[in-house]
């Protein structure tokens, strides 16, 4: 799915570890935190000197959703630097669809942001407020290539989730509702709104896109089946069992628990400057409520009863 743009190959949509193999002749740099990523010494894009390129994906065996570059163009003034960047990129892909300028006081701020849309790819230029230290030089801008919709590249993972759901509850056998609770906060479906779009909230009405995101960015987060939904609200959480497996469900999302490799964490953010918060992560499902939430406390107690384990509570202050 890679594309040729700016006189080079952009590897969006390729599997992360396989794409890294294609770049193995480049000098490899230490990875950054967050999602799995690889960083390599680079040369140029859009005829602009590039110091570093980075590719990242939600998992090592999933498609790359962003490729970025640290650029090192120089000029005699900030205004001319901005013009030079826009001119060089514009020779390849035209004028940006969005252009914003900002007042800055440090190099760690962004002086200019420009965005282009090329087919299914969003290209964003961020010109810094000054030079930033980078590998073998100083970067004056960042260039980011991002996918604009997960629907196409997520298709194999949607099928995998559908198969998992079929194996779990295609047959309703020994179904039992163990617990139904209400929490104070409204629970939203898992998704990643595009805050660069005009209406990022629209994703909550786009079930197809949410399903694609969920299958791409999570491995075991399922849609809640209809036979569990009856009477549920956006504040509801249910614990239930079917065919010997245990699940936690919101009105939108469901995760299995009770396995040896469970990843369950409890975080108690104590009131300080903020009002605090109680959160529990159950494998791929994250739930959060007000501090001292009786509903989440009851959920945690049920999970500990089912798994026969006591989970540590990580505390900090809401500063």
At 22 the pLDDT is: 87
| pLDDT tens, N- to C-terminus, the chain (319 residues) | 688 998 889 999 999 999 999 888 889 999 998 999 999 999 999 999 999 999 999 999 999 999 999 999 999 999 999 999 999 999 999 999 999 999 999 999 999 999 999 988 999 999 999 999 998 899 999 999 999 889 999 999 999 999 999 999 988 888 999 999 999 999 999 999 988 777 888 999 999 999 999 999 999 999 999 999 999 999 999 999 999 999 999 999 999 999 999 999 999 999 999 999 999 999 999 999 999 999 999 999 999 999 999 999 999 999 8
Ordered strands of the 285-290 beta sheet: 285-290, 277-282, 264-270, 313-317
The reported pTM is 0.89
Q: How far apart are CA 84 and CA 223, in angstroms?
A: 48
What would the pLDDT profile of 264-317 be if each residue is shown by its tens digit?
999 999 999 999 999 999 999 999 999 999 999 999 999 999 999 999 999 999
At 199 the pLDDT is: 87
CA 237 to chain centroid, in Å, comes to 24
At 23 the pLDDT is: 86
Where in the chain does DSSP place strands (E)?
A: 3-5, 8-10, 28-29, 37-41, 44-45, 48-56, 66-71, 98-101, 110-118, 121-134, 137-147, 176-182, 222-223, 236-242, 245-249, 253-257, 264-270, 277-282, 285-290, 313-317
């Amino acid at each position: 799915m890679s594309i040729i743009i700016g006189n080079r190959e952009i590897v969006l949509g390729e599997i992360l570890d396989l794409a890294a193999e294609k770049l193995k002749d480049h000098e490899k740099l230490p990875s950054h935190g967050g999602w799995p990523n690889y960083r390599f010494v680079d040369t140029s894009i859009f005829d602009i000197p590039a110091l570093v390129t980075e590719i990242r994906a939600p998992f090592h065996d999933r498609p790359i959703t962003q490729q970025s570059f640290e650029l090192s163009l120089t000029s005699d003034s900030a205004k001319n630097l901005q013009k030079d960047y826009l001119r060089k990129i514009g020779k390849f892909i035209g004028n940006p669809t969005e252009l914003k300028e900002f007042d800055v006081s440090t190099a760690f701020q962004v002086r200019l942001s420009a965005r282009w849309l090329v087919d299914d790819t969003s290209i964003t230029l961020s010109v810094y407020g000054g030079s930033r230290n980078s590998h073998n030089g100083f970067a004056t801008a960042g260039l980011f290539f991002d996918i604009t919709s997960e629907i196409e590249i997520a298709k194999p993972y949607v099928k995998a989730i559908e198969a998992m759901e079929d194996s779990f509850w295609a047959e309703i056998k020994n179904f039992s509702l163990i617990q139904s609770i209400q929490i104070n906060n409204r629970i939203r479906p898992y998704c990643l709104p595009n805050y660069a779009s005009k209406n990022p909230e629209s994703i909550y009405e786009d079930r197809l896109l949410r399903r694609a995101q969920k299958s791409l960015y999570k491995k075991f987060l399922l849609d809640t089946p209809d036979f569990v939904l009856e009477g549920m609200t956006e504040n509801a959480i249910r614990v239930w069992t079917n065919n010997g497996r245990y699940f936690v469900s919101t009105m939108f999302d469901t995760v299995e628990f009770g396995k040896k490799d469970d990843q369950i964490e409890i975080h108690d953010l104590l009131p300080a400057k903020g009002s605090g918060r109680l959160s529990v992560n159950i494998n791929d499902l994250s739930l959060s409520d007000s501090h001292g939430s009786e509903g989440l406390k009851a959920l945690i107690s049920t999970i500990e009863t089912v798994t026969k384990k006591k989970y540590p509570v990580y505390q900090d202050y809401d500063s």
